[in-house]
Structure 1
Amino acid sequence: MKYNELGKSDIKVSEIGFGCMSLGTDHAVNKALLLKALDNGINFFDTADLYQQGQNEVTLGKAFKGLREKVYLATKVGNQWRPDGSGWYWNPSKDYILAAVESSLQRLQTDYIDLYQLHGGTIDDPIEETIEAFELLKQQGKIKQYGISSIRPNVIREYSSRSAISSVMLQYSLLDRRPEETVVPLLAQNQVGILARGSLAQGLLAGKAPKAYLEHSAQNVQHAAETIHALVADKYNAAEVAIRFALQQPGITSAILGIRTENQLKDALAAAHAAPLSEEQLMALRASIPAHTYALHR
């Protein structure tokens, strides 16, 4: 397993991160899968207080009790549940973040969070106030680093210039290369790590039947899948090609993969150990489907 520094921090995360959102509700089953991932070199586990109304954080706390120093835990904040549990609303206020972190720490059974991320964000947020909250938590030792989870270039630009974020989590795959236009170069320039999610594009790059995706027609998606299939020989499977493509984009620190089953974990680990794609293969993949740009929030 390869490990990369997260931005300018001293955190070195596995290039395959375990996305915990897909985990079920059986804590014992989850623990077995999470520990197997750890045993095989994955040290970065990403969750959010939103997932399963906090139970996703609880499952990580139970799994890694007594193993805290062996893992990097990342969680997210900003979506506040309504008291009746009927849904949530956006709240990036300083007061809410300072209160929410205490609940996350309790559920995770830890006294610090390695990476605390704003779970979204708009250009109309009280950004300075949000940054103040993260900086205060860092001073207090309750978080080690902070970042944002966003696909909005204008929001990413503001946090890159006004804060000490270590990372941005965003969607990136062969079928979603929108970050390449301005976001990836900006983050590279500012030494901010990129956590790529959605690398399999809802499974469309790993064997699922083609369908329209973002601005791509089903026909274009099929062409990209066929190009991947042409690269699949004894050396790779389709998922490995798609994940390697994302990982080999300059600036990508880790691919965060949603893992729920042992087979999915096996595929994720296979991608980590697969041979890098050649420049010719990467060029063929890029040429197989057009790269779009963000239409909104520029």
Structure 2
Amino acid sequence: MKYNQLGKSDLQASEISYGCMSLQDDHAANARLLHQAFDQGINYFDTADLYQKGENEISVGKAFKGRRSNVLLATKVGNQLLPDGSTAWNASKAYILQAVEQSLRRLQTDYIDLYQLHGGTLDDPIDDTIAAFEQLQQEGKIRYYGISSIRPNVIREYMQRSTMVSVMTQYSLLDRRPEEETLKLLHEHSISVLVRGSYAQGLLLGKPAKEYLGYSAEEVSGMAAAVRTTADELHAAPAQVAARFVLDTPGVASAVVGIRTAEQLAEALRIEAFASLPSQARQTLELVLKSKQYEQHR
């Protein structure tokens, strides 16, 4: 497994990382799957306090209680669970300082390797939000922080005003909007990109085509067919082609892949065996559809 440095931190994250949102409700089964991933070289595990209303963090914490020093645990904050079971966005300093304690308890650890704001808008008290992360870093409760966002205007603000080391963002052959600006900016500022959605909800891997981010079902089907053709020509699997497309992009440190089953884990691990996407193949795929641009939050 290849490992990449996250920004200017000393965190070395596996190129393929585990998106824990897909875990099921069985803690024992989850632990077995997470241990298999770790044993095969995956060291970066991404969860959030929002997932399963905290149960996801609990499951991850149970799994790695005896291996804590060998893994990178990343979680997220900002979606406050209300008494009625709904959530409300809260990026205040007071809330973040309170929420981290609950995440630490559920994860059964005294520090979080990467704490991420789970979204964000320009209406947030951004300086207070950053101050919360900086305070937690100074207290040793988190090692580093970042944000999870697709919004260029929010990413620019945090890039200019904080010491974040990473941005998690959606990027795939069916969502190349980050190529317009954010990928280049983050790379220039040595802030690593963690990619989610590299399979585009499985649409690139053979799931029935549907409208997606402004592309028609026919266009989505055409891109999926192009991925299959490229995979066949390179003696690879569609998942390898789809993931390598994003991983070969400068500044991308890891593809966060949602994994629910042993079969999905095996598929994710095979990505590593496909070292790179030939430039000609990449150019061919890029020409299949015209890249979209962000219409909001620019």
In which range does the TM-score fall when normalised by the shorter chain?
over 0.9
Partner of 2:151: 152
Paired letter, 1:138: Q
Deviates more, 1:261-270 or 1:221-230: 221-230
Q: Deviations over 1:90-138 (max 9, x none)?
A: 0000000001000100110100000000001001100000000000000
Shift of 1:290: 1.1
Displacement of 1:84: 2.9
Q: Partner residue of 2:84?
A: 84
Give CA deviations for 1:66-110 in whole Å, capped at 9, x if unaligned.
10111000000000000232x100000000000100010011010
TM-score (norm 2): 0.98
Aligned pairs for 1:155-166 (under 5 A) are 155-166=154-165
TM-score (norm 1): 0.98
Matching of residue 22 in structure 1 with residue 22 in structure 2: yes
Partner of 1:128: 127
The correspondence of residues 113-192 of structure 1 with structure 2, limited to 5 A, is 113-192=112-191
Partner SS state of residue 136, structure 1: helix
**% same residue:** 59
Q: Which residue of 1 aligns with 2:62?
A: 62
Query: Which ranges in structure 2 are unaligned for 5 or more consecutive residues?
Result: none
The letter for the 2-side match of 1:52 is Q
What displacement does 1:235 show? 2.2
Match of 1:214, as an amino acid? Answer: L
Q: CA deviation at 1:2?
A: 0.7
SS at match of 1:174: coil
- Counterpart of 1:291 in structure 2 is 291
What is the rounded CA distance, in whole Å, between the counterparts of 1:238 and 1:91 in structure 2? Answer: 39
* TM-superposed deviation, 1:275: 3.0
Superimposed CA distance per residue, residues 5-47 of structure 1 (whole angstroms, 9 cap, x where no aligned partner): 0011110000111000010010000000000000000000000
**Equivalence for 2:97:** 98
Aligned-pair CA distance for 1:251? 1.3
> What is the alpha-carbon distance in structure 1 between the residues aligned to residue 170 and residue 130 of structure 2?
23
Query: Which sections of structure 1, spanning at least 5 residues, go unmatched?
Result: none
Q: Name the amino acid aligned to 1:220.
A: E
- Secondary structure in 2 matching 1:205: helix
Give distance in 1, aligned partners of 2:286 and 2:16.
22
The residue identity in structure 1 corresponding to 2:187 is A
| Partner Cα distance (2:273, 2:10) in 1 | 24
Give a deviation string over 1:178-217, Cα, whole Å, max 9, x none: 0000101110111101000000001110011222110111
Q: For the residues of structure 1 that align with 2:212 and 2:272, how far apart are their CA atoms?
A: 26
**Alpha-carbon deviations, 1:49-70, whole Å to 9, x = none?**
0111111000011000110111
Matched residue, 2:280: 280
Once the two structures are superposed, what CA deviation does each residue of 1:152-176 show, in whole Å capped at 9, x if it has no partner? 0000000000000010001000000
**1:90 partner amino acid:** W
Q: Does 1:202 align with 2:195?
A: no
User: CA RMSD, aligned part only?
Assistant: 0.8
SS of 1:151's partner is: coil
Q: Which amino acid letter does the alignment assign opposite residue 241 of structure 1?
A: V
Secondary structure of the equivalent of 2:281? Answer: helix
